[in-house]
Structure 1
């Protein structure tokens, strides 16, 4: 047996091989396998120039890193999980899109699940994501099953709540009661005292319940009450907004303004008002919440509360990336909402 050290031959890319490995990528990029590994794992020690060469080599060789092996070596999967109440909700979709773009730019993959506003489903989805080894988690709201909070604490999993504020947990959101109260006060200042609310489902939904509470508080501050027959809960769909508006218009006395829990409900309310022969805002005012893309193009354009959903997603990504990489973070990131006045709300007509 020879005492001479073995000579390691430099491997050249073998495009015809059935499998491509780290050595092939390193050879084509002109760097060591260690550098390739650092580049693929997002090490800040790798320069942008070298990273570009490694990524170009991966593309040319159709090389896909072995996620399982990388997770074993780094104890990270570079995967973030997100559980939202509904994929159908345009506001959540905008936030998730911004979240994914930011994570993708940092080399992370996003897995999204929906709970359908069911705490038990949310718990099951989070358990599934944890079993897949996610590095961080995004949730919506501050109300969850106790078992979910225990699971997150047991796993020491970085997570952030969105769309509301929390007195305990990391959060990126706003005070829903204050935002809805601003809309109610705007209508009150216009002279409305007969105000109805079409809300989203409030069970397991602190955002919807907060908005109803904000309207109620604004009315009570001026000696008024929110009538039970003018407070209707519906899922966040255009068709449901129309059904709710139909119920409100069938009441013995018609309100002069309807505050909707989101723009989709308001869209349906506008459709039903028009179908009933009413002119908005001459006969009845209608407002929304979120300021989705279509809000400015409704007939009439919708007065609503603007929520920067893309900012929520982007800041959530930055927070989770910082936590995963042990960088300092702010526990509370409050997002600014604002009243957007368009043409769907005006002063009430005088009652004869």
Structure 2
């Protein structure tokens, strides 16, 4: 830091502020510091700042997958939110409860300024760790009973919208594809709502099958096999993700099953593939970028005067396309 200060003809404190509190430094001076740092290959020692402050300017986020465009948009929202507040984002993949606990341990070890997790279904040990750490937490992608704060949408309302769309279209053998793994409450909340909607419509409420991998292209054909074995007259399906829905559309084409004539298919997520395949997917569209960006805003506002929002509803849309 002192080498940079000498090269830029400023104090070491000015160098520190140029990186940690850029609003405190005149723009011309800040640019001079950055140029000197670039020439010298200087990178701020974040660990030293953490020791002095007791916490870092790092936000830790755990996500189960980065294979679909929905989570990509979510992580982009997190990243841009962090940049807007002068923080850095660390993302760890956590597809199981154990992996999520390890991610939380890492974030606590880094003295993160905040943690963002997906869902509110955690290992008890993770919940205990989070409670003892006192680090602000936002649970995203669904609402209800947050440990600290939550941002997302009402999954029950989205399920009802998808069900009612099929019913209004005259479908009478409607099925749901789910995922029942531990740590996937955002999927496991759907079957009870689906059954309730089917009973309200006077339709069978037991046409439900689970897939092991809700983000894998192999799941669509597997789900279609299971559904047709369960009831050969199924005429509509609600899938857990657009990946499953798209692969089911592909499998229907391979078998000569008309979509949506014979079977109407609704996906979930409005991934990039949803609007590009033929027939294009009708799908439930959450707002992932808004969730990511909003989660960071909630962490930054936590504890500030007048802050009262513990939950934020980012809403959803049912995007009607060609598949049903």
TM-score (norm 2): 0.91
Task: Look up the match of 2:140.
Answer: 162
SS in 1 for 2:268: coil
Q: How many residues align?
A: 322
CA deviation string 1:7-31 (max 9, x = no partner)? xxxxxxxxxxxxxxx2232234343
Contact kept, 8 Å, 2:286 with 2:316, in 1: the verdict is yes
* Pair 1:193–1:251, CA change in 2 (3 A): same
SS in 1 for 2:315: coil
Instruction: Return the offset for 1:100.
Output: 1.8
CA deviation string 1:164-207 (max 9, x = no partner)? 00234301101111111101101111111210111233532111
CA distance in 2, matches of 1:26, 1:296: 53
SS in 2 for 1:250: helix
Correspondences of 1:140-151 after superposition (within 5 Å): 140-151=118-129
Match of 2:227 among 248, 257, 266: 248
Instruction: Return the offset for 1:288.
Output: 0.3
* Pair 1:281–1:314, CA change in 2 (3 A): same
Instruction: Return the offset for 1:49.
Output: 4.2
Instruction: Return the offset for 1:105.
Output: 4.5
Instruction: Return the offset for 1:96.
Output: 1.3
* Larger-Rg structure: 1
Contact kept, 8 Å, 1:201 with 1:235, in 2: the verdict is no
Task: Look up the match of 2:317.
Answer: 338
Instruction: Return the offset for 1:155.
Output: 1.1
Match of 1:59 among 26, 38, 61: 38
Structure 1 runs (4+) greater than 4 angstroms displaced: 324-327
TM-score (norm 1): 0.84
SS in 2 for 1:161: strand
Structure 1 gap ranges (5+): 1-21, 346-352
Instruction: Return the offset for 1:270.
Output: 0.5
CA deviation string 1:280-334 (max 9, x = no partner)? 1111101101101110111100000111111111111222233388883621111
CA RMSD of aligned residues (A): 2.2
Correspondences of 1:1-352 after superposition (within 5 Å): 22-42=1-21, 44-116=23-95, 118-168=96-146, 169-228=148-207, 230-236=208-214, 237-323=216-302, 328=307, 330-345=309-324
Instruction: Return the offset for 1:35.
Output: 1.9
